[in-house]
Each structure stands twice: as structure tokens, then as C-alpha cells.
Chains A and B, each alone.
Chain A
Amino acid sequence: MRPLIAAFALLLAAAAHAQTSEISARIVDDEGRPVADAVVVAVPTEGGVRVPARPREGMVDQVNQEFTPKVTAIVVGTAVRFPNHDNIRHQVYSFSPAKRFELPLYAGVPAEAVVFDKPGVVVLGCNIHDWMIGYVYVSESPYFAKTGSDGTALIADLPPRVYAVRVWHPQLDASEESTRKTIDATRPGPASVAWTLHLKREPKVRRAPAADGRGRY
């Protein structure tokens, strides 16, 4: 009997897998260069989305006085830790409406993770090192992916539905909503979508040194 049940379960799993879809996204800038660190989000046009009850914990590291990764995409409700691997303490904060928080000066790994319970973009800063800037994109949908250095992202294991797909990037010079496209992913296999984004200057304090050349003769 047991082998029969196992075989049935395998069949069900295979059938379920066969019914999933993928959305393959490719993003370039005005000059055709691949855009890394863009977050592509897919939301079913009909019916709600089921967000995992306990999403896997996220992590934003601090290495060489920079947030690593610079852009982190998570689903709403995710707890994120902010370990500090530098030999100097950091004080991480955000004043973004989606999450206001402050981690008082610390080294190592703070005991408490920060739970991001509202969708939106959370801009991270460090009060000691003004040039440090990072982003946590909190998605209302569990279906999202971040582009790599080749400008591509793949949202896999999608239930076959029609999706409203949009993209966000720290330098996006338009509203995220204006990038919305409707993608039919009802048939198995990958559906492709592409964007050409106009990027603006990143609001980052310059880190490079400057010399004032103050002559003292």
C-alpha cells in the first residue's frame, strides 16, 4: 500500500510542477546596457496572493562599509538581520514610510531581526558612514526576482495565471506603477517580458576622497 501512496504523491507533485509557469524578464537602460539590482514583481490580476505564513529570514550584510547586497527583495512579513562584518560599528536606520527603524550602534550580529510588515521600498542608511545606502524592497506578492549583472531575472514556479508585472530600481526615473505590463502565464513554460528603463542619478553621498590643496607656506 505504501509504495502506491508514494507513487500517487509523486504523480501529484509532477502534475503540479507541470502546471507551473515562469516569467523571464530582461531589463536594459536607455543605452542598452543590462540593469542589475532591478526587482521584478508579478501579481495575479485576479484572485489574491497567498503570502507564506513564515517567510524565510533575510539578511543584509555590512562589508567594507557598504550594504551587501545593495538591493534586497523580500516578501512582506519577512524578518531581516543586519550583521556587521566591518571592524567599525554601524548604526543602521531607515525613515521610509514602509518601515521606520533604528539599530543602535552595534558590531557583530544584532540579537533582534527587523520584521518588514508593510509593502514598499525601505531605504537604509548608516549614521556613521553617510555614503552607505541600501534598499529593501518589500513585495506584497511572493512572486518576484532580482536582476543579476546580465540584467535578467526569472520568476519561477508561478501558478498559471495572468499577472500584472512591474519593475522597480533604485534609480528608476518614473513611478514603479508606470512600468506595469500584463503577462499571460497560463500556459506552461516561460513567458518573456522586457523593459528599457530610464535611470536617474542614485542619491548617494560620494565616498571618494578629495584633497583641498591648502598651501601652508
Chain B
Amino acid sequence: MYLTALRRAPAILAGSALVFLCASGGAATALALDVDAGFLYDDNLTRAYAPADIRADAAVTMDAATAASWVLSGSDWLTLSAEARGEFYNRFTGLDVIGLGATATYKHKFGVGLEVPYLVLAANGSNDDYHSRIRDGPRFELRAELGKRFSSQFDAAFGARYERRYGRNDEPVVPGVSGRVFALRGRSVYVRGGYDVDDRLHVGAELEVRRGDVVASTRPDFDIFVVSDAIAADPTFGPDFFAYRLPGTTDTARINGSFALDDRSSLNLVYADERTDASGGISYRSHRVNLLYAWSY
């Protein structure tokens, strides 16, 4: 998997170089480099509802993005970024991933001033190479957000996302049932707010509701089997685990704290609580904690 990712590295480097070249060609551009690295802990990686099938693990995460911004007018600007991300798990190395992608973000402010409303439109595409083959594939996301800063300390926004993930490898285990478990679609809406407690500490909260395909990995389970529309073996969690794709609704509550070390770096703690109600009365819950160091130049 890593070799595959390395083979694709020239493409991402070329993309990054293109961004830099385009940016350096115009006086109205700014370049940025954003990096974050840290730890992730997830207490239900399998998204399983039966306690015996729940698996938890910790990972090291790394993200890097290089971005160029074009100021189109006094109220509009466009940012193009090339991104690389990696997650490397302690126990379940099948979840190890290297993702390469790009994002275009357009922002419009409805007027002049700190407190005028704004609109963000973003499109992201990436390709993920996992250690486990069934998770490999590209994914796309479209996002629209309407927000407003109410003061220099407080801002709030609501938005919607549409995401599509394609499973590259079809490895069916049940005749007539797709094996592309990780070919997923989802739509979500969210509302979020952020508050600067003081010069350094920022706290935020977000609520999100997502409807679409979800994947649960469990040992053979009839209740899930009958409501699944794709099934594949998932040796990441053990030789007797299968991944099931089924429709569901996920409610996520997320809180975060960000402590600025200086104008270019911060320490971040993020906690997310996810509750999913899937078809067939299947419900599961997961919690995730991220501790991240972020740096920007």
C-alpha cells in the first residue's frame, strides 16, 4: 500500500508545484502550508453494536496541505490546496491509510466588515490507499456553509455536505450481493459555533446529522445481514469479521478546544460522540478523541 502511495507521490507533488507556480505568477496570491500531527483514539472502530464485536484502537495521524489563495474581489476569494494525510493504527493496521487529494474553496462575504455573513463553497477530492484492500478508493465531498461572526470572539455557521466514496475493489462473499462495501453515499447538515475564551484559547461545538450508507464490521450476524446491501470479508479486525453496508442516520456531537502557542501553531483537543441508527433497528455508538499539534505558515 505504501509503495502504491509512493508511486502516486509524483502526481501530488506535481499538483502542489502547479499550485505554487500558479500562485507565484500573480501578485494577488498568497501561499500557505498547513501541517498537523497527533494522536487519535476511537472506542468503536468496527461500528459494531454487539459488545463482543467492538474494537478500539489508537492511531498516529498526520496531515499536510499546501494552499494558494486568490483574492478575486474585496469580498470573494478562492483557495486551492493539495493535501496529504495519513493514519497509522497501533493494532488494526488494516486501517492504516495514506490519502492524497485536493480542495477548492470559494468564500464570499456579503459586504464589508468583521460581522457580515459569509458563504463558503468547497469541493474536495482524494484518493485513499488503505492497508486493507476493501477500503481503497477515491472519495469526493461537496460542502456549502453559511456563517456569521457576531463579534471578534464568537462565530457560528450552518452547512450541508454531500459525500461520495467509491470502492475500488469488489470482493463479494455472498453471491448476488455486492462486495463494494465502502462505496458509500451520504448527506449531512451541521451547525457549529466557536468562541475565543481569551487571546489563546478557542472552544467550539458542532452538531451534525448524516443520512446515508454506513459500514459495520462484525462477526456473521443475521440481523445485519438481512438489511445489508453490500458485504465483504474484513480481515482487518479478524479472520471471522465481515463488513456490512447498510443505510443509517448518524448524529454526531463534537466539541473542541484549541490553545494557540503563537500566531502560527496550536494544540488541539477534539472529542466526538457518534450515535448511529441503522436499518433493522441496529444502533451503535462510538467516541473519538484527537490530540493534535497544528502549524501553519
Contacts and interface: CB of A to CB of B under 8 A. Distances in A.
Given A89-B28, A208-B263, A208-B265, A217 B45 contact: yes
Interface in A171-190: none
Given A87-B27, A105-B73, A128-B74, A95 B262 contact: no
A213 B71 contact: no
Given A206-B199, A206-B202, A213-B270, A87 B30 contact: yes
A87 B270 CA distance: 34
Contacts of A212: 254, 256, 268, 270
Contacts of B74: 91, 104-105, 127-128
Interface in A86-113: 86-89, 91, 93, 95, 102, 104-105, 107
B112 A93 contact: yes
Contacts of B149: 130, 205
Nearest to B111: A127
Interface stretch (B11-19, B169-177, B225-233, B287-295): B287-295
A127 B113 contact: yes
Main secondary structure of the interface of B (DSSP, over half): strand
| 3 closest A-B pairs by CB | A213-B290, A208-B260, A88-B30
Contacts, number: 123
Given A206-B199, A208-B260, 10 more contacts: A88-B71, A95-B113, A102-B112, A125-B113, A208-B265, A212-B270, A213-B256, A213-B292, A215-B288, A216-B139
B265 A209 contact: yes
A53 interface: no
Nearest to B109: A127
Contacts of B295: 209
Q: How large is the interface on B (under 10, 10 to 19, 20 to 34, 35 or more residues)?
A: 35 or more
Contacts of A216: 85, 99, 128, 139
Interface residues on A, range: 20 to 34
Nearest to B42: A215
B114 A210 contact: no
B112 A213 contact: no
Given A88-B30, A217-B97, A207 B198 contact: no
Interface of B: 27-30, 34, 36, 38, 40, 42, 45, 61, 63, 69, 71, 73-75, 77, 85, 87, 95, 97, 99, 109, 112-114, 128, 135, 139, 149, 151-153, 196, 198-200, 202, 204, 254, 256, 258, 260-266, 268, 270, 272, 288, 290, 292-296
Contacts of B292: 211, 213
Interface stretch (A14-22, A156-164, A196-204): A196-204
A201 B86 CA distance: 38
B270 A205 contact: no
15 contacts: A65-B30, A89-B28, A89-B71, A102-B112, A128-B71, A130-B114, A201-B199, A205-B149, A208-B262, A208-B264, A210-B294, A211-B293, A213-B292, A215-B61, A217-B97
A205 B30 CA distance: 19
Nearest to A84: B27
A211 B113 contact: no
A205 B204 CA distance: 14
Contacts of A203: 151-153
Contacts of B256: 210, 212-213
A204 B152 contact: yes
